[in-house]
Every structure is written in structure tokens, then in C-alpha cells.
Amino acid sequence: MRIALHSVIADGAIDDYRTHHARVPDALRELFGVAGIHDWTIWRSGRNLFHLVECDDFEAAMRVVDASPANDAWQADIGRFVEGFHGPDGEDGFTPIEQVWALSTQRAADA
């Protein structure tokens, strides 16, 4: 399953955010593996961040991640640089955005 998320970097924190993501803690990387998260990619446009999470089951993965001290430590550190996650309609929280179209899906359907 693929989940897209949106977050916003705090004003003036772009460089710190980049620096902290040069390499996330090994404990967090390992936690993602245990939680069934296969990949997590982040793109930036200005202060807006767009995340693509590839996982087995996003809700189950977030239950595992949210219960972990490794995630607590990461959030305490990285949280200084992020205004928070925003859902597709601007609400706060870890709400996935809707995929509307994918070229690969259309090509596969036409094959």
C-alpha cells in the first residue's frame, strides 16, 4: 500500500530539517522495518513536505511506530522543525491524501 502525507517545515528550519534527515537514527529505520514500512520518501517544495510511505498496512504500522520509544525520541528531536502533519483538507494529523491518478496504472490497464 502507498500512502501520501503532507507536513510543513517550521519557518526558518529548512536547513535543520535537511540536516536531521541526512541519516535518521538506526533505531527508527529498524522500527520501520518491524512495522512493515518498506520505504518512506520525502520531497520538499518551499516549506511544504510531501511524504510517500510504502507499507503493508499504514494504520497497523502507525500503531507500532507510535508505541515505540525510538519514535518518541525522533519526534522530540525532529518536532522542533515541523509545524505538524496535515490531512488532505488541511486538518491536523496523520491523514493520508487521496491518489487521484497514476500514469503507471493507466498504462497497465491499457496493456
- The secondary structure of the chain in percent helix, strand, coil, rounded to multiples of 5, reads 40, 30, 30
CA 103 to centroid of chain Cα atoms? 22
The reported pLDDT for the residue numbered 76 is 95
In angstroms, the CA 29 to CA 109 distance is: 35
The reported pLDDT for the residue numbered 72 is 97
Q: Which residues fall within 8 angstroms of residue 71, CB to CB, at 6 or more apart?
A: 28, 31, 65
The reported pLDDT for the residue numbered 90 is 72
Tell me the average confidence (pLDDT) per consecutive run of 10 residues in the chain, 111 residues long.
Answer: 91 96 96 97 94 93 97 95 81 78 92 91
Q: Which of 16, 66, 24, 19 is nearest to 41 (CA)?
A: 24
The reported pLDDT for the residue numbered 41 is 93
The reported pLDDT for the residue numbered 97 is 77
Amino acid letter for position 49: L
The strand order across the sheet containing 82-86 reads 37-45, 48-55, 2-9, 82-86
The reported pLDDT for the residue numbered 98 is 80
